[in-house]
Structure 1
Amino acid sequence: MSAHAPFIPCLRLLSACVIALSACMPAWAADAPAEAASAPAVAASAPAESASAPAAAPQRLDDRIQDVKGDVIRLNRDLLVLEEELLFPANTQVAVFVSMDVGKMFELDSLQLKLDDKLVASYLYSPLEVQALHRGGMQRVYLGNLKSGEHEVVAFFTGKGPHFRDYKRGAMLKFEKGADPKYIELRIQDSTGKLQPEFDIRVWQ
C-alpha cells in the first residue's frame, strides 16, 4: 500500500465538497435579485443617472460566479489528478488502452481483461462508443499497480464478425514490468488478406 494512502479519503471528501459548492452557485445567483429587491425605498429617489448601476450589478455578479465556477472545476480536476498520482505511483503503474483500426470486419460488443489470470476489467460497449473508436479514439479500460517482474495480460473480445456472425477471440502477451510506468494497447484491426479481424496486444516503448 502507498505511504500516501491515508490521504486519499481526505482528497475524496475535499473533491466532493468542491462539487457541492459548484452545484450551489446557481442558487446563490437566484437569491441575489431577491436581496436587491428588499433594499430601502429611499433608493428610488436617487438621481436618474444612477439607474444604470442596479442593471450592471447583476452582470458583475454573474461574471464573478462564472469565474468562481471555473476555479472550482480546475480545482476538482487537479484533485483528481493528485489522487490518481497517489494511488498509482509511476514505479508501479500499468495502464491498458483499447483502439480500433478501421473495424469494418468486427463490431465490438464487450471486452474482458485479465492480468496474471485475474479479471481486472469487463466492459460493454454502446454503438456511440464503438463509433468513437472507429474515428480514432482510444479508451483506457484499466489503470492499476504491478510490481516489477514478468506478467501476463489476456484480453477477450466479443462481438459480430464477418457476415454478422457471433465472434469471440482472445489475445495474450507476456511482458516485463520495470521501474517505469507501463502502457499496453489492445488493438483491433482488419486483415484484408484474411478477410477477418485481428486482435493484437502491444506494449508502448
Structure 2
Amino acid sequence: MSFFHRLPRAFAGLLLAFAALPSFAQTAAAPAAAPASAAAPAAAPASAPAPSTLDGRIQEVKGDVIRLNRDLLVLEEELLFPANTQVALFVSMDVGKLFQLESVQIKLDDKLVANYLYTPLEVQALHRGGVQRVYLGNLRAGTHELVAFFTGQGPHERDYKRGATVKFDKGTEPKYIELRIKDSAGKLQPEFDVKVWQ
C-alpha cells in the first residue's frame, strides 16, 4: 500500500482518539457546578470525570501520536528512498584505541555526499559498539566507486588522514556499506576498510 493510501487512515485514527476525549467546556463546567450540588455530595463525584480516567485517555492519545509520527517517518523514508535505488553508509569502530576519530568525508563517484565532524560523546558511543548511519541516498544500478577519508589523531598524538576506496555494483536491492576503523596490533597503527553487505 502506498504512502498516500495509508496516510488518511492514520489521520482518521488520530482524529477518533481526540474525539474520545471530553471537551474542554465539559471539563471546565464540572468545578463550577460543584457549589450548587453541595447538598448532595454523593451525586457530584458520579457526574464529574475521574482525573485518572482523563489522564489515562490523554496518555493513550500521546501514545497514538508517537506511533503515528513513527509510521509517517517510515513511510516518508520509503517514498524518498525506494529499495531499488537506496544506498546507506555506516561508520563503526572496532576497539579504536590507536585512533581518535575527528571527521569522516565520503565521496560517491567523485561527488561529496557526506562530511561529518564528531563530538567526544559520539566517539565514545562508537567505542562502545555503536554504529552511525552517516548517509542515506539514492543510487542508480551499475558500478560505483566509494572513497572515504578519516581524519583524527593516531598513536603519539600524530595527525592522521587516511583513505579507503571500494568499487561495488548496485543492483535492484538496497545496498548497505560499512566504513570500519580497526586497530592493527601487529603494526600498532589504525586500519580503515570498507565492507559491502550483501
Which TM-score band (shorter chain)? Answer: 0.7 to 0.9
Which of 182, 189, 196 does residue 189 from structure 2 map onto? Answer: 196
Q: Alpha-carbon deviation of 1:31?
A: 9.2
Partners of 2:55 and 2:152 lie apart in 1 by 49
Unaligned runs of 5+ in 2: 16-21
- Aligned pair in 2 of structure 1 residues 119, 31: CA closer, same or farther (>3 Å)? farther
- Aligned pair in 2 of structure 1 residues 56, 32: CA closer, same or farther (>3 Å)? closer
Count of matched residue positions in the alignment of Structure 1 and Structure 2: 185
Partners of 2:163 and 2:25 lie apart in 1 by 58
Q: Alpha-carbon deviation of 1:38?
A: 2.6
> Which residue pairs with 1:151 in the alignment?
144
Which of 94, 106, 122 does residue 115 from structure 2 map onto? Answer: 122
> Which residue pairs with 1:67 in the alignment?
60
RMSD of Structure 2 on Structure 1 (CA): 2.8
Partners of 2:125 and 2:25 lie apart in 1 by 42
> Which residue pairs with 1:89 in the alignment?
82
CA contact (8 A) 2:181 2:191 kept: yes
Which of 25, 31, 35 does residue 41 from structure 1 map onto? Answer: 35
- Aligned pair in 2 of structure 1 residues 33, 107: CA closer, same or farther (>3 Å)? farther
Q: C-alpha deviations, 1:20-69, integer Å up to 9, x for none?
A: x9xxxxxx9x9987554333522322234x56558971111111000000
Partners of 1:129 and 1:32 lie apart in 2 by 49
Partners of 2:151 and 2:190 lie apart in 1 by 12
CA contact (8 A) 2:151 2:162 kept: yes
Structure with greater proportional helix content: 1
SS for the counterpart of 2:67 is helix
> Which residue pairs with 2:169 in the alignment?
176
Partners of 2:29 and 2:161 lie apart in 1 by 64
Q: What is the aligned-residue identity percentage? A: 73
Unaligned runs of 5+ in 1: 22-27
- Aligned pair in 2 of structure 1 residues 39, 52: CA closer, same or farther (>3 Å)? closer
CA contact (8 A) 2:34 2:44 kept: no
> Which residue pairs with 1:105 in the alignment?
98
The alignment's TM-score, normalised by the length of structure 2, stands at: 0.83
CA contact (8 A) 2:88 2:175 kept: yes
Partners of 1:189 and 1:31 lie apart in 2 by 63
Q: Give the letter aligned to residue 74 of structure 1.
A: R
> Which residue pairs with 1:25 in the alignment?
none
